[in-house]
Amino acid sequence: MTERYARLTGWGRYVPEKRLTNVDLEKMVETSDEWITQRTGIKERRIRGEKDTNTSMAVAAGQEALKVAGISAQDLDFIIVCTSSPDYLLPSAGSLVQDALGADCGAVQVTAGCSGWVYGAVMADALIRAGVHNAILVIGVEIVSYGIDYTDRKTCVLFGDAAAATVFQASDQPSGILASELGSDGAKAQALWVPGGGSAWPISPEVVEQRQHYIQMDGPEVFKFASRVVGSSLKRTIAQAGLLPEDIDLFIPHQANARIIEAGARFMRQPIEKFYMNLQYYGNTSAASVPLALVEAIEEGRLKDGCKVAMVAFGAGLTWGSVVIQMGVGEVSPAHVLFSAGRARYLAKRARETVLDTAQAAWCPFIPGLIRGGVPSAVRFALKILIKHLCAT
C-alpha cells in the first residue's frame, strides 16, 4: 500500500487594518515604547475593526488559502478552526466558518491557546495519513483584544488580532509533516487563564467588577516555561524526523517574545537569522501566530519547495506543540524513512554524547584523565557536570 502524506498546498492570512502602537499604549497605561521593545521586541499590534469577527477573519484567510491551493470550499473534507476567542460559546467556530465558506463537510473548533494551530495541523496530518480525509483546511484565528484589560500593562502590550489558514491535501510523494510533538501541563493552568465567564464562575456583576473576565498571566512563570519548552521540544521533534538542527532551513517559533526566541536559538546552537520573527508588527496573535509567520515567510521567499521548516508554539493550558514540515514535494531524509522514532532518539543521544566527549578533549585535555581516575569520585562527578554545562552554553 502506498504511503500517504499530508502535503501543505495552500496558505493565506488576514490582519485587521487598525494598528495599536507602543506610542499609543503610552497614553493608556504606565509604560513606554522603550520598555515594551526591550522586554518583548514588539512595536505594534493589529486590533479588530468594527466589522471584524472571528468568523469573518477566519473566512478571509481561508479563502486566500483555498485560492493558493487551487481548490474550492466544496472540495474540502474537513475544517479545523483553532481559536480561544470564538464569536459564541455555541455553536462551534468551525460550523460558522464552514457555512460562511460554503463548504459541505465536517468542522470542529480546537482550543489549545497559542498552540492551537500546531494541534490542528497534527490532527489534519493524522486524518489524511489514515485515509479518512483528502483535503483539510486548518485555520488559526484570534480576536484576543476582546479579552484584554487595557489597564493591565502586563498583558495589554503583548497581544494582537489576526487570522492565518493552511490547506493540507493527500499526496503519495514525501511531503508535509515529518514529525510532531504535542504536550500539556495542566498543573500550570492558572499561569495564563481567564478565571471568570465560564461554567465554573459564570459571568456576573461580581466577575466584571473584579475584572475576572479578562486574560490574567503570571509572566515570569510563562517565560520560564516557554524558555524551556521551545528548544527542548524542537530538538526532540527534529530528532524524531531523523534530522539535525543544521538540516532545518527555517525555524518558526511562536511570536510571543523576542527574548524567548533568542533563548531558543542559543539552546539549538543555531544562528538567530534562521529564526523567523514578525512579532514586531503583530505582537502575540495566539493561535494565529505560527501560521501567520509561516505565510509571511513563504511570501517573502524564505521557504520554497523542498525546504524543511521547524515550528513550535506554547500557550494557555499550559500547552506546547512542535512540527517539522517539508514544503512541497522532495526527498525525505533516509534516516526518517529507515529508522523508527525510538531509533532516531537513540542516535540523537549518541550524537550528543559524542559532542560532549569531543568538547572535553578539545577544551580541557587534562580533564579526561582526571575523570577516569586519580581523584575522588565527588570531584570526578563535579567535573562531568562542569563539562556538560560548558557544552550547553
Same domain, 231 and 346: no
Average pLDDT over residues 181-194: 95
Same domain, 208 and 76: yes
122-144 pLDDT, tens per residue?
Answer: 999 999 999 999 999 999 999 99
Residue 343 banded pLDDT, cuts 50, 70, 90: very low
- Cα distance between the two ends of the chain: 46
Residue 299: what pLDDT? 96
Catalytic residue among 133, 213, 284, 336: 284
Beta-sheet strand order (sheet of 176-184): 176-184, 319-326, 308-315, 250-253
Q: Which residue in the block uniquely carries the three cell numbers 542559543?
A: 266
State the pTM of this model.
Answer: 0.84
Catalytic residue among 54, 114, 133, 156: 114
Same domain, 29 and 155: yes
Show the 3-state SS of 86-103.
CCCCCCCHHHHHHHHHCC
The C-alpha atoms of residue 289 and residue 314 are separated, in whole angstroms, by 10
Average pLDDT over residues 104-125: 98
Same domain, 60 and 97: yes
Q: Is 114 a catalytic residue?
A: yes
Same domain, 99 and 36: yes
Same domain, 228 and 350: no
Cα–Cα nearest to 79, from 110, 56, 111: 110
Catalytic residue among 133, 213, 254, 336: 254
Residue 2: what pLDDT? 82
Q: Quote the domain boundaries for residue 381.
A: 341-392
Cα–Cα nearest to 179, from 134, 228, 118: 118
Q: Is 284 a catalytic residue?
A: yes
Distances (CA, A) of 321 to 226, 232, 301, 318: 11, 11, 25, 11
Cα–Cα nearest to 155, from 72, 76, 216: 216
Task: Count up the domains in the chain and report the number.
Answer: 2
Q: Is 279 left (phi over 0), alpha (psi -120 to 50) or beta?
A: alpha
Q: Where a domain ends, among 338, 357, 373?
A: 338
Same domain, 237 and 376: no
Average pLDDT over residues 59-81: 98
10 Å CB burial of residue 53 (0-12, 13-18, 19+) is middle
Residue 270: what pLDDT? 97
Same domain, 301 and 354: no
Lowest-confidence region among 29-38, 54-63, 328-337: 328-337
Lowest-confidence region among 7-11, 86-90, 181-185, 385-389: 385-389
Residue 340 has pLDDT above 60, yes or no: no
Same domain, 228 and 363: no
Coil vs helix vs strand at 28:
coil
Same domain, 48 and 74: yes
Same domain, 50 and 122: yes
The C-alpha atoms of residue 166 and residue 191 are separated, in whole angstroms, by 30
The C-alpha atoms of residue 36 and residue 22 are separated, in whole angstroms, by 7
Residue 378 banded pLDDT, cuts 50, 70, 90: low
Q: Are 365 and 217 in contact, with CB atoms under 8 Å apart?
A: no
Same domain, 275 and 357: no
10 Å CB burial of residue 121 (0-12, 13-18, 19+) is buried
Q: Residue 330's domain is classified under what CATH number?
A: 3.40.47.10
Cα–Cα nearest to 127, from 86, 87, 177: 177
